Chain A
Amino acid sequence: MNNNQVDMELVKELEDKCVDIRKNLLNFIYRIGMGHLGGELSIVEVAVALYYKYLNYDPKNPKWDDRDRLILSKGHCSETLYTIFSDLGMYTMDYMVEHFETLDTAKFGMHSNRKYVPSIEVSAGSLGHGLPISVGMALGARQQKKLWRTFVIVGDGEMDEGTNWEAIMAAGHYQLGNLVAIVDRNKLQMTGTTEKVMNLDPLDKKLEAFGWEVKSIDGNDMYSVCAALASLPPADPWVRRKPIFIISNTHKGKGVSFMEDNVKWHGGGIAKEQLDQALIDLEKGRKVR
């Protein structure tokens, strides 16, 4: 499928879904009192496009052998995935709140655990782990001649970790065309801009030099996200081709006026009046059809 074949009705549907997911996410974070809203809001389009369309995935059978694998390497943004799982009917929001970091009864945590949540492929939290694991998964698919694809979402601040570059080198070496890495390029990390803390650009040239095919997209524009995911080459792992890196240019805190591109909204909870304002902002952002 090429870019022109993205179904515009689907794009509209997924755009609406993003508004709902963001609102549910904010309500969830308000109720549990903690989260990483900036980075959780910036990945919504990518996560929604994957879970509702492009990831070969069955919420009723999350451990199905032939499913595509999605690793959220920026594991501190797990609440976005929990919110999507809830919307897909796997858990009610009340259940998630009642089982969030509640000791013996806990299923959900700030950093996700695959043993408690079957749809979580990898327990993550420490940064720089998802890419090496994704390389192993993609090699595993090749070795077993399986057609599933491995996706990994990493943060741009996370790219400071050297292990990513070991994995990027290995994926280029093994020409893992069944591997898709998506960097949430919101340009902010905990204490400042990525360029100020540890310069990342020119990221595209660095990745190309390591043997990857690089696509730069507007990661908060659903059409742009869908076009990139719809145009992936086949996932036949026995064919050696370049792994794909999608540089997903986004805004931290996307959709909420006082959070967008604001370094202060990395981690923490949200107050009631902030929640109310955020929900208004998000509804305003819903496209009138």
Chain B
Amino acid sequence: MAVQTTFDFDQMLSNAREAYGEELLRMADDGLDFVFTYTDNVAPSSSAGKLIAKYPDRCFNFGIAEPNQVGASAGLALSGKIVFAQVFGPFLSLRAADQIHTDIAYNDVNVRLIGTHAGLTAGGGPTHNCIADLALYRAIPNLTIEVPADAGQCVKAIRKSMEFEGPMIIRIDRGGSPSVYADTNYEYEFGKAIEALPGTDLSIISAGSSVYWSMMGAKILKEKYGISARVIDMHTIKPMDTAMLLKCARETGNVVTVEEHSINGGLGGAVAEFLMEAGFSGKFKRIGLPDKFAVLGDPDEVYRYYGMDPEGIAKQVAELLK
């Protein structure tokens, strides 16, 4: 069943980075027991900064040293605590890959790695693009990968993760991304995708920031091309809701993936691998960043350049279904 969304395109901006910090502060105020680690990227004025100011004994700064932060977070978890670790996403995935693999996943510890600045949201070009992380995380066993679609969903993920056993990645944007859902009164479970928009001609599988673009793209598809697109919020990349994929393949025949990640090895790769083995024979396309270091520019312009914006998505889908 589709949930209520802000599909009226009011462009209400939300900030997952701020929202999760506020939620951690509420959780600490509620008496929940966890510790927080961070690198030198948390402004004192931010909500996480307020958590640090109010609960200094449970917050640890590791400077500009992601591998040490992730390793020490594993050590804190092994000493019996649930750990939330805020890490600048591109440097979490690439620099601390060995620590995520060995210290977090192999050692099976209760660390929630919050990778910020997903995709291109940091701006600043390829050194600060976070577009290979899902490919890496997917290949690491025992790692749950959560990509909330908006700030409200991020808050739900953070709170719910307190009851979760094992390592988890929570991938969020830099901030200032549109809200997908009008409120947070909807059912949310790790590993269970959400049908954000009903449709019959194809299914667009998306996660994170691309859920909103896909919703916008679906609107254009309907108005301009007469195509009915279903939009799936696949917020858990691993373990993936394959039952939802089968349902979509069966009911809509065609599948497109949209992600703020390289088209190699991320959401699109995961969906393609599963559907191929399941005998899927419909039309299929991955939309995301091509296998290139991205051009330099404002993220919104770069999305347009690579056809990841709503118009680009609609155009590519219409072309595919011709």
Q: Do A and B come from one complex?
A: yes
Chain A interface residues (CB < 8 Å from chain B): 65, 69, 113-115, 121-126, 128-129, 131-141, 143-144, 146, 162-163, 166-167, 169-170, 173-174
- Interface: B7 (CB within 8 A): no
Q: Which residue of B lies closest to A136 (CB)?
A: B75
Contacts of A115 in B (CB 8 A): 108
How many whole Å from A145's CB to the nearest CB in chain B? 10
- Interface: B74 (CB within 8 A): yes
Q: Is the CB of B60 within 8 A of A123?
A: no
Q: Is the CB of A140 within 8 A of B79?
A: yes
How many whole Å from B309's CB to the nearest CB in chain A? 39
- Interface: B206 (CB within 8 A): no
A124-B102, A136-B75, A136-B79 are known contacts; what are 11 more A-B pairs with Cβ within 8 Å?
A122-B74, A129-B99, A133-B74, A135-B71, A137-B76, A139-B60, A140-B76, A140-B81, A143-B35, A163-B71, A170-B72
A/B interface sample: 6 pairs, CB < 8 A: A125-B102, A132-B71, A137-B79, A143-B57, A144-B80, A163-B99
Q: How far apart are the CA atoms of A128 and B81 in the complex, in Å?
A: 23
B interface SS class: helix
Among B58, B80, B103, which residue has its beta carbon within 8 angstroms of that of A129?
B103
How many whole Å from B288's CB to the nearest CB in chain A? 31
Q: How far apart are the CA atoms of A121 and B75 in the complex, in Å?
A: 10
Q: Is the CB of B75 within 8 A of A140?
A: yes
Q: Is the CB of A133 within 8 A of B75?
A: yes
Task: Count chain B residues whose beta carbon lies closer than 8 angstroms to a beta carbon of A.
Answer: 28
How many whole Å from B304's CB to the nearest CB in chain A? 39
Residues A139 and B72 in contact in the complex (CB < 8 Å), given A121-B78, A170-B63: yes
Q: Is the CB of A122 within 8 A of B68?
A: no
Closest 8 pairs (CB-CB, A-B): A136-B75, A140-B79, A132-B71, A136-B72, A166-B68, A133-B75, A137-B75, A166-B65
Residues A143 and B58 in contact in the complex (CB < 8 Å), given A129-B103, A132-B67, A170-B65: yes
How many whole Å from B136's CB to the nearest CB in chain A? 15
Q: Which residue of A lies closest to B77 (CB)?
A: A136
Q: Which residue of A lies closest to B57 (CB)?
A: A143
Q: Is the CB of A139 within 8 A of B76?
A: yes
- Interface: B73 (CB within 8 A): yes
Contacts of A124 in B (CB 8 A): 102
Contacts of B274 in A (CB 8 A): none
Q: How far apart are the CA atoms of A140 and B109 in the complex, in Å?
A: 14
Q: Is the CB of B71 within 8 A of A167?
A: yes
How many whole Å from B193's CB to the nearest CB in chain A? 30
Contacts of B58 in A (CB 8 A): 143
How many whole Å from A113's CB to the nearest CB in chain B? 8
- Interface: B225 (CB within 8 A): no
Q: Is the CB of A167 within 8 A of B78?
A: no
Q: How far apart are the CA atoms of A133 and B67 in the complex, in Å?
A: 10
Contacts of A69 in B (CB 8 A): 78-79
How many whole Å from A27's CB to the nearest CB in chain B? 29
Q: Is the CB of B81 within 8 A of A143?
A: yes
Q: How far apart are the CA atoms of A6 and B67 in the complex, in Å?
A: 39
Residues A144 and B68 in contact in the complex (CB < 8 Å), given A123-B107, A129-B102, A170-B63: no
- Interface: B186 (CB within 8 A): no
Q: Is the CB of A133 within 8 A of B106?
A: no
- Interface: B98 (CB within 8 A): yes
- Interface: B188 (CB within 8 A): no
Q: Is the CB of A163 within 8 A of B76?
A: no
Q: Is the CB of A126 within 8 A of B76?
A: no
- Interface: B9 (CB within 8 A): no
Q: How far apart are the CA atoms of A128 and B71 in the complex, in Å?
A: 10
How many whole Å from A261's CB to the nearest CB in chain B? 31
Among A131, A136, A169, which residue has its beta carbon within 8 angstroms of that of B78?
A136
Residues A140 and B78 in contact in the complex (CB < 8 Å), given A129-B102, A132-B99: yes
Q: Is the CB of A136 within 8 A of B73?
A: yes
Q: How far apart are the CA atoms of A288 and B58 in the complex, in Å?
A: 54
How many whole Å from B26's CB to the nearest CB in chain A? 20
- Interface: B293 (CB within 8 A): no
Contacts of B71 in A (CB 8 A): 129, 131-133, 135-136, 163, 167
Contacts of B305 in A (CB 8 A): none
- Interface: B164 (CB within 8 A): no
